[in-house]
Amino acid sequence: MGFDLHGTAVGIIGTGQIGQIVATILNGFGCDLYAFDPNQNPECLQLGVKYVSLAEIFERCYIISLHCPLIPQTHHLINKQAVEKMRDCVMLINTSRGALIDTKAVIDGLKSGRIGYLGLDVYEEEGDIFFEDLSNKIIQDDVFARLLMFPNVIVTGHQAFFTHNAVQAIAETTLSNITSYENGICQNTLTCKKIKKK
């Protein structure tokens, strides 16, 4: 049995472009929106998103959705300590980067009932599992195989972006960046420095 989104406390970790879009959609459902991000997004503030600490997100929200980059500070952001702070039967969604989640800690959370629903489009060791048909093979990753045994876990295999529109936008952005670089216009200084070093 499911539950209504209206009036549900949702925590969005990372409110860049994607996090902002998620906030806009959930706002349309009438969710109570909370967020954690070192940089508050003015668009999210206009939607009524309340910026709080990570601890508050874990304690307050029934749904937690991850939309932050993988950097040293966010590696295993969802670990044993984080899971222990979450509400019982929380819904955890990760469509960002696999290593934001310590999978073994999340499995323990699923077994205890602390995590009631888990939706993953990414997985820390996805390189050997996603992007090919393994339906006639035995999965060698025991942790991933364990995840698939839970009835309240959905894994979509890094397919959330895989639409005609998204792939076209990725191709157009890539070509635009290459053209800008060739013309001496670099919009991402960090990327340009890396390319120039090569």
Q: In what order do the strands lie in the sheet with 153-155?
A: 50-51, 32-36, 9-13, 63-66, 90-94, 115-120, 153-155
Count the helices and strands in the chain (H runs, E runs): 8, 7
**Annotation says 158 is catalytic:** yes
- Which residue stretches of 30-94 are H helix? 42-47, 54-60, 80-85
Catalytic-labelled residue, pool 126, 164, 172, 182? 126
Catalytic-labelled residue, pool 67, 97, 114, 124? 97
**Annotation says 132 is catalytic:** no
Catalytic-labelled residue, pool 60, 87, 146, 158? 158
Active-site residues: which are they? 97, 126, 158
